[in-house]
Each structure stands twice: as C-alpha cells, then as structure tokens.
A and B are shown apart, each in its own frame.
Chain A
Amino acid sequence: MRKVLWAITLNTFRETLRDKLLYSLVGFAVLVIAASLLAGSVSLGQDARVIQDFSLTAMLAFLLIITYFIGTQLVFKEVERKTIYLVLSKPVSRETFYLGKFLGLCLTILVAGLIMAVMFVIVLFAKTHSVPTAAYFAAGAVILEAWLLTAVSLLFSSFTSPLSSAIYTFGVTLIGHGSATVWLLSQKASPVIRTILEGVYYIFPNLEKFNLRNDVVFNLTPSASQVGLILLYFATYTVFLLILGVAVFRKDEF
C-alpha cells in the first residue's frame, strides 16, 4: 500500500509539474518577490519591512492560487479523461488514490514554496544582510496553510466541479482568516445568530493560527509551544478533512 501511495504521490507531482500554469505562477511569484525591492526603495527607509510583508503575502497568494486552480482539477481531470478507471481497476484502493493525490499536490506546493522562500531570503539578505528567524517560521506556516487548504480543495473537488470547488475553497480561506471578526460579531449578535456564528467559528478552519507573517517585521519568533500547537492544529484538522474527503470519494460513482 505504501509503495502504491508513493507511486501515486510521485505521479501526481509529475503531473502538476507538466502544468504550464504552475511555472507561470511560480515565475510570477518570484518576480513579485524581487519587485518588493523596488517597493521598498520608495518606502522612506522601510525596505526590510516592505520586502518581508510583500514577499510573504506573495508567497501565500500564489500558493493559494496553485491550490485553487491545480488542486481542484486533480481528481476532476482523472474522472473526465476516464483515467481513474485504469487506476482503480488495479489493486489500488480509493483511499490510497485520494491520499496519493493529496500528498502529490502537497509535494508540489512544498517545492513551489521553497523556491519562493529561497528567493525571499536572497532578496532580504541582499538588502539588509540579515534574515530574522521569524521569517523562516512565517514561510513554513504559509506552506502549512496551503497544505491544509489543499485538503479543503480536494474535499470539494470530490463532489463538485473545479470552478465551484475553487470558489468554495476561496470562501473557506476568507472565513478562515476572518475568524476573529466572526467571533467578535457572534459576541454582539442575538442568541440565535450567536449560535450560528460560533458554529461557523468552530467548524471552519482557523487560518489565523498559521498567520505568523505579521510578527516577522518585529522579529517575534514563535515559542516552541506555539509552534507545537500550530502543528497539532494542522495535523488534526487536515486528518479530519482527509477522512471526510475519503468518505465522500468512496461513495462517488464515476
């Protein structure tokens, strides 16, 4: 099973590498990170700050776009091209197929994220001759967030069209980052609305947990317990999404 899983993972990774969209997205992200040097030069001495904020936000934005546009198409393409019959006719369980797709895209995101992170570190180091430790943690958290949203997009794409699942995943991202606002709203609302909003707060992923980007400019390195909690939250929520996704995918009829 492990061998099959690895084969599907690697195959998915290769498949995404063949997608020209990936190259243009990574290329554009690298360009934006490099361009933050220019933005920094007109910021009244706030170069380091601008480079850090622009680069980390560009990383997040482009990794999320990869998730939305490539992640949502992975399963759909297999079904549309009917290649899924070939795979599933072999001794490959649906669970393995689903997990392989997830891990393959995670690998793609990791590689793309690392390319962007390396560019970010080069640009920042070239300008300021130092890279705060917090920047590495923030970049890592961005990749974790993209991985979690990959699980979300895969879940949606297992029962709806790529466009719809991209829109839904975007919605989850928006709610996930607005979790603090949702909580504040719930505390001011009437009891019924409050229950609904609190439900939204607890059900949707709290993506702000992965947001270490705002701490980088002040070089606030997260504590070990904070990092531990982030990893634990990521692991539990992703496993929850994968179990849910597998359950839906198992019932799918092609």
Chain B
Amino acid sequence: MSSKSQPFPGVWKQIDLKKVTIIWVLVFWGLSFVGQINYDSWRRYSPPKLSGVDYNVYIEPQPLSPTLAKAVSFGSTEFLADYYWLTLIQYYGGGTPNGKYRKLAELFSLVTDLSPKFQQAYQTGLIILPGEGFPDQAIQLGEKGKNNLPDSWEMPYYTGLVYHIYKKDYVSAAKEFQIAATKKDAPPITQYFAGIYYKEADQRQLAYQIFKTVHDTTKDDFVRERSGKQLLHLEMIFFLEDAATKYRQQFGRYPSTLQDLVTKQFIKEVPVSPLGVNFVIDPHNGTVSESRK
C-alpha cells in the first residue's frame, strides 16, 4: 500500500494486516454461525411460512422416485437406502412438522424399495406409520415385507398389530398372527394371540381350536397356562349357550339373565371364568359373552 495514495499513511503502517485478516475471518465466521443457528431454528420450529398449508415445508425431505433413485445410485442401492433411512430418522425425530409428517410413508416405501430386505425399516414403519395417520400405508409396507422377507415372523406379527390397533379388524389380525406362528423363531405366544383375535372377532370355534393346539403343543409354561384358561373360559361359554338353547326349547324364549338358568335348574351355578370376567347373556339371541362392565 503506497503512502501517497492513502489519506493517513501513518495509520496503515501501524496496523498489522495479518491480524486484521484474522479478526475479519473470525467475525464473519461467527456471524455465519449465528445466522445458521437462527436459520435452522426458524426452519424447524416456526409456523409454516406458506399460507394455507398445515405442514412445515422447510423440513420436508423431497425423496426421489424409486426408479430415479435406482438409476442414479450407480448400483449402490443399499447406500442410497441408508441415506434415506438417515433422512427419515432426522425428519421424524428432528422437529415439529406443524401438522402431518406428509413424506413419512413415501420415505419408508422408498427405503424398502431400495433395500427390499431392510428388516428394521419395515418394523419401524409398521410401528410409526399407523400412529401418524398412515395405517393403510403401514399395511402395504407389511405386505411388501412379507413378500421380501418370507422367513420373518415379525412382518405378519407387526402387520397383525396394525389390523388390531388401528383397524379393529380382528379377523385379519388373527390371520396375520396365524401366518407369523408358522415361521421359525416366532414366539410361542404368537398363535395364542391368533386365538385371542378370533375370539374378539366372535369366531369362537376357530379360537377354541387354536387355543387347543397351542395348549397341546407349546413348551412354554406361561403360554400353556394362559391357553388352558382360555380353553376353559370358552368351554364355559359353550356350556352356558347350550343350556340357554335348552331353556328356549322349553320356554319358547331365551333367559333374561344367566341366573334364570340356575333358578330353573338347567345348571347348578353360573361358572366363574378363570380369566376373572363375568358372563352375560343376550336375551334376544342367547349369546353368552364377557361382561365389559
């Protein structure tokens, strides 16, 4: 820097330019750091900036279509699946979406398209998706998992749980659990659950047969004890319904309460369920069920 061209030549000589450069570097680095933090928190936690949307577009990943993703992966589809898996974890765990995690189902689908045998992805999806408003997509994911991992008991087991909890479809849940029970390494209780679901779905004879098989074949003491109680419980129901049918044959109607069967000496007493629940009878059709009270 020539002293002629500067208005204060003495001042420039005194300033160590190296120090000035370091200071400026530090200042701008600090500013960009603060800016980045502010930008991130604004992006993640502030309400949506677009009018009329109920999701936070700023944290929403934009996954490629499975075909395009495969085409640009250079064959490293497992790597790309991992990348989207990490993206998914960040997306779901990284902040409020201000509404729905709209891309969640798409991400799970993409990850499992890229890595069809990624068991953890299926299991996580089957647990997370229904609770976030994607029960149908969860069931689709479960179906895909069953096709791609035919030896896994977890796929039908978790799918069955979705049918039970989010769809209240006990027959489908029972069918899934029956499939799961046929797989190697499935917990002994799986078939027991199938019986429970059939019972819930009012398919008592089917439930009885399943509990009987479980009881006669399981090596697990707990499962044997529970299935034994279920068997006894169902036998009591069959017994009471049988008595109610005889009652109807004699009196032309079903009894109003189970106590009527005792009073008219069709049975000695109303049995007590080993499951600790009370029985009630529907006087219109004679069906005996568990009291929900």
- A residues lining the B interface (CB < 8 Å): 39, 42-46, 49-50, 53-54, 56-57, 60, 173-174, 177-178, 181, 207-208, 211, 213-214, 216-218
Contacts and interface: CB of A to CB of B under 8 A. Distances in A.
Contacts of B226: none
Contacts of A50: 82, 86
Contact of B86 (A39, A174, A207): A39
B77 A214 contact: yes
Most chain A CB atoms below 10 A, which of B74, B115, B120: B74
B86 A53 contact: no
Contact of A46 (B67, B73, B82): B82
A217 B117 CA distance: 10
A218 B117 contact: yes
A197 to B, nearest CB: 14
B124 interface: yes
Contact of B74 (A42, A174, A218): A174
A178 B74 CA distance: 7
A208 B40 CA distance: 40
Given A43-B86, A44-B89, A217 B74 contact: no
Contacts of A49: 78, 82
B82 A214 contact: no
Contact of B79 (A46, A53, A207, A208): A53
B89 A54 contact: no
Interface string B61-85: 0000001001101111111011001
B76 A213 contact: yes
Nearest to B73: A177
A44 B75 contact: no
Contacts of A56: 76, 79
B82 A213 contact: no
Contacts of B81: 53
B82 A44 contact: no
A39 B67 CA distance: 25
Interface of B is mostly: helix
Nearest to A45: B120
A53 B89 contact: no
A46 B74 contact: no
A44 B120 contact: yes
A178 B124 contact: no
B82 A54 contact: yes
Nearest to A64: B74
8 contacts: A39-B82, A42-B89, A44-B120, A46-B120, A174-B74, A178-B71, A208-B75, A213-B78
A44 B76 CA distance: 21
A157 B86 CA distance: 39
A53 B77 CA distance: 9
B226 to A, nearest CB: 31
B85 A213 contact: no
Contact of A43 (B79, B85, B117): B85
Nearest to A211: B75
Contacts of B82: 39, 43, 46, 49-50, 53-54
A217 B273 CA distance: 50
Nearest to A178: B71
A43 B70 contact: no
Contacts of A43: 82, 85-86, 89
Contact of A217 (B70, B71, B78): B78
Nearest to B114: A214
A49 B73 CA distance: 17
A177 B120 contact: no
A40 to B, nearest CB: 9
Contacts of A60: 74, 76
Interface string B114-142: 01010010001000000000000000000
Contact of A214 (B67, B78, B86, B120): B78
Given A42-B89, A53-B76, A178-B71, 12 more contacts: A44-B120, A53-B81, A53-B82, A56-B79, A60-B76, A173-B74, A177-B74, A177-B75, A181-B70, A181-B71, A211-B76, A214-B78
A213 to B, nearest CB: 6
B87 to A, nearest CB: 11
Contacts of B85: 43, 46
A71 B82 CA distance: 31
A116 to B, nearest CB: 15
Given A44-B89, A181-B70, A218-B117, A207 B75 contact: yes
Nearest to B88: A44
